[in-house]
Amino acid sequence: MDTAAAEWTVAGEDEPVRRTGRRFASWCAGLLLAGVSAVVGCRVADSDGVTPIPQVLAFLPWLLAPAGLALLLALLGRWRVGMVWSLVVLGLLAWFIEPYGKTDEPGGTPLAEFKVLTSNVEFGRGTPALVPVIRADKPDIVFVEECEYSCQARLKQEFSAEYPYRQAVEAGGSEGSIILSRFPLKGTDGVSGTMGMPGAVAEVQGHAVRLQLAHPMPPLPGQVGVWRRELGRLRDAAAAARTPMILAGDFNASQDHAAFRRILDTGMSDAARLAGHDRTPSWPARTAPTIGAQIDHVLVSRDFSASNARFLDVTDSDHRALLVDITLHQRG
């Protein structure tokens, strides 16, 4: 009897410790779920919200980790509401990780095949590494963001023969940008923004193709409104296009941002997605392709199909370059 009484006493003393541990696990699960749910809730509402939601939305797939941890903690804490909550959040994340936008094939007669490259060279520092990439892959049209004075001078010097046609916004720092082309270009008004976004019309084997470089402000704290407005201007440019269009560059946005999805809703398609690389990270280059977000895009109108997409490392830049093979089709 004395031994049984002692065992009962020890078991009774352990129970408060277990309850405290379960309560702590439940609290941790609740905190994780509250943070993830705020981001997922904005995704459900088709909104980018306010800081820090836009910044976190770029990494939406990686929220599976804290949501999964919350489920484990809810199980340890025997918190039934938390278990259900976690499963709902995980289900929504799995749903929204699916690619966004249409992938309808043009169906018309192929008219021209060519390559498009876009690269953010981070204040021009990645220019020396971009030159051999261009020489090796020989894209027909090149969009270069954050290409300041020295970057533009280097590219003009290196490729004066290969790319005789250029349209640029000449500026320092992150504000300079340039389009290089093997095809004849006619300059047009670009999209206005804090950073340079030049535009042009290319004559591709006798067919007019509207080119527009994209480089809106990033969604930094205090700059989310500017970022949203500049993405809206790109959306308006896409909606107003009456000829085949290529909209390429550093969008500072992924498919998980509502402002970017508005551009896709005009009928544009992401060439990387068409080629099967819809979730390949392009930024930050230091952790990509393992961890990151795809914020560099080549968007094409319904007149194009894409057969290949490659993300290329560019030394000294925080972005990876994107090279895509596209085909222009006869409009149906």
pLDDT of residue 2: 55
Question: What stretches of the chain show up as alpha helix (H) in DSSP?
Answer: 2-44, 53-57, 64-76, 80-97, 127-137, 149-158, 224-240, 258-264, 271-274
pLDDT(13) > 70? no
**Which of 44, 72, 97 marks a domain boundary?**
97
CA distance 11 to 143: 70
CA distance 199 to 188: 5
Same domain (yes/no): 10, 59: yes
Same domain (yes/no): 200, 273: yes
Which has the closest alpha carbon to 64: 90, 31, 88? 90
pLDDT band at 12 (very low <50, low <70, confident <90, very high): low
157-176 pLDDT, tens digit each? 999 999 999 999 999 999 99
Q: Is residue 103 part of a domain?
A: no
pLDDT of residue 57: 97
Tell me what percent of the residues of the chain surpass a pLDDT of 70. Answer: 96
Same domain (yes/no): 263, 192: yes
Q: What is the mean pLDDT of the chain?
A: 94
Domain count, the chain: 2
240-295 pLDDT, tens digit each? 999 999 999 999 999 999 999 999 999 999 999 999 999 999 999 999 988 999 99
Which of 14-18, 73-77, 278-282 is the least confident region?
14-18
pLDDT of residue 332: 66
Same domain (yes/no): 77, 121: no
Residue 118's domain spans which residues? 110-329
Q: What is the pTM of this model?
A: 0.93
Q: Is residue 282 part of a domain?
A: yes
pLDDT(1) > 50? no
pLDDT(68) > 70? yes
Q: Is residue 83 part of a domain?
A: yes
Same domain (yes/no): 187, 269: yes
With contact defined as beta carbons under 8 Å apart, do 93 and 60 qualify?
Answer: yes
Same domain (yes/no): 173, 293: yes
pLDDT(224) > 80? yes
pLDDT(24) > 80? yes
Same domain (yes/no): 180, 263: yes
Same domain (yes/no): 73, 159: no
Same domain (yes/no): 272, 237: yes
pLDDT of residue 155: 98
Same domain (yes/no): 177, 306: yes
81-139 pLDDT, tens digit each? 999 999 999 999 999 999 998 888 888 899 999 999 999 999 999 999 999 999 999 99
**Averaged pLDDT for residues 44-60:** 97
Specify the pairing of strand 207-214 against strand 245-250.
parallel
**Averaged pLDDT for residues 145-151:** 98
Same domain (yes/no): 213, 278: yes
pLDDT band at 25 (very low <50, low <70, confident <90, very high): very high
What residues pair up with 297 in beta bridges, in sequence order?
249
